[in-house]
Amino acid sequence: MKRKSIRMMALTLGFGLLLSACSGTQTGGSAGEAPAADGKDGKATITWLNILHTPAPPTDTILNKIEEATNTNIEFSWIPDASKEERLNTSLASDSLADIVTLTILDNSSVRNALKAGMFWEVGPYLDEFPNLAAISPEMRTSASIDGKLYGVPMQKQVARNGVVIRKDWLDKLGLEVPKTTDELMQVAKAFTEQDPDGNGVKDTTGFVDRSDLVYGAFKTLSSYFGTPSVWSVSEDGKVTPEFESEGYIKTMDYMKQLYEGGYINQDFAVTAKTDQQQNFSQGKAGIYVGALFDSKNLLNDAKGIQDNMELVLVNDITSTGNESDRAIWSTTNGVGGLLAFPRSEVKDEEELKRVLKFVNDLMSEEVYALMTYGIEGVHYTADEQKAATITDTSLWEQEVQPFAGSRPKEPGYEIHDANPLKAEADRLIQENTEYAVLNPMFSLESPTFSSQGSELQKIITDATYKYILGKITLDDFKAAVSSWRKAGGDQIIAEYEAAYKAVNG
């Protein structure tokens, strides 16, 4: 059976049928067997149960090149992203897996239980035997561990991707410098609101444009500038405290309250969708966007034909104090995008484990990263002497290359980069953010109460935060909401995290 047929079956057939259909498709291996020893072609066959983030699986063009670079035969079984949780739960329950299993939902109880039960190899002791795996930082290894043990190779994403995007042409028109402090940013927001930066003679702009999202919108990034921890903080004696009990969180609420009361932010930000936020920015209704720095490329593209004079500057070094030593930025998932895990039922012994680990190590090379990101030079993209890459056939790239992008074990830190100047600058600043990232110390730990009630309890805090910013409640009212959170289960969450932290760290 051809590989293309296997991929289509992964999208249309039941999970058990898919795995049985893979049998015998390549010399030396299948989805129900461990990596084969080198066969007649000198290559080992490796099966991979993977997540598909695009409408259709890729053709074999890039796969053939990856196989050549890693000296393997690779058999993918693709699971559509929309049904990954159900499919993974089914496969874990039936122990119907592959040599490599992509696990991107580490907070899923079935996944965590399978990892803790020993279904997958603990790989921590082996990583340093391979150069690219050895380069995975201790912080990344800790964040990707479960109960202090690493049950797969961490999929390395950007650790901290957020910052501030500002209309540089508006700064220039009003004679303003790029802000370096929160006070200076406030003054820019005020000027953009009151001093007609677009020159149309009408007071129709605001400084900030934000959306109804306290995490990925402006709030959490601004809170970094005021010293707020990333979700949780833990003291030297192991005491765990939620971010919303910090002084920095209160200062951030006060800052956004000042923006709202002054009219320096869109007055409907608490109910604005992300698409509307971005459209409003691209249409020239505001001059400050806080979020992922790589959003800047699309913001500028969407402005073409509407705001053709738009120039953007990206800022990632704002502090509330003006001191470089206070520079900080929150981290989304501590840079962990999931695990590439290796089931003991498929990878039978250490020799086979090391063969699969070598394959993952080889996937992290510059050559394979370029293949999985941009494709084949001269076919999908061109690159200059500085390794700046430009996609030349978007349709072909989407069909043959894009599906592999979600499978990269490592994303940041490569020489080849996007030729778009704004995207290249965003990538540079995001990489720079790593040095100043504030990690969530509870990310890899488990609180049963948080897993079952965390989302509902968070609504208490989210609602109170918005009400405070909008002037509907006082600070005492906000603190009363925090007390309600504690009584409704927050104290139990804290106790469970403290116990989990102590169990791992002693």
Residues 354 and 307 in one domain: no
- The answer to whether residue 38 scores a pLDDT higher than 90 is no
Residues 372 and 348 in one domain: yes
Grade residue 35 by pLDDT with cuts at 50, 70 and 90.
Answer: low
Residues 7 and 64 in one domain: yes
Residues 7 and 103 in one domain: yes
* Domain range for 79: 3-157+337-412
Residues 121 and 263 in one domain: no
Q: At what angle do helices 3-12 and 60-70 cross, to 10 degrees?
A: 120
Instruction: Identify whether 441 is part of a domain.
Output: no
Residues 169 and 312 in one domain: yes
- pLDDT on residue 29: 37
Helices (H), 95-150: 109-116, 131-134, 138-143
Residues 348 and 318 in one domain: no
Instruction: Identify whether 478 is part of a domain.
Output: yes
Neighbour order of strands in the sheet with 206-208: 206-208, 286-292, 162-167, 312-315
The set of residues, in sequence order, having a beta carbon less than 8 Å from that of 25 and lying 6+ positions away, is: 1, 2, 3, 6, 75
Instruction: Identify whether 435 is part of a domain.
Output: no
Residues 300 and 372 in one domain: no
Hey, which residues does 502 pair with through a beta bridge? none
Beta 381-383 vs 388-391: how paired, if at all? antiparallel
Residues 150 and 167 in one domain: no
Overall pTM surpassing 0.85 (yes/no): yes
Structurally, the chain folds into a number of domains equal to: 3
- 10 Å CB burial of residue 99 (0-12, 13-18, 19+) is buried
Instruction: Identify whether 91 is part of a domain.
Output: yes
- pLDDT on residue 78: 94
- Mean of pLDDT values over 429-434: 96
Residues 95 and 209 in one domain: no
Which of 301, 330, 359 corresponds to the end of one domain? 330
- pLDDT on residue 11: 36
Instruction: Identify whether 264 is part of a domain.
Output: yes
Q: What is the CATH number of the domain that holds 109?
A: 3.40.190.10
Residues 76 and 213 in one domain: no
Residues 204 and 268 in one domain: yes
313-325 residue pLDDT tens: 999 999 999 999 9
Instruction: Identify whether 250 is part of a domain.
Output: yes
Which of 268, 298, 330 corresponds to the end of one domain? 330
Is the separation of the CB atoms in 102 and 111 below 8 Å? no
Which of 270, 297, 330 corresponds to the end of one domain? 330
Instruction: Identify whether 417 is part of a domain.
Output: no
- pLDDT on residue 14: 37
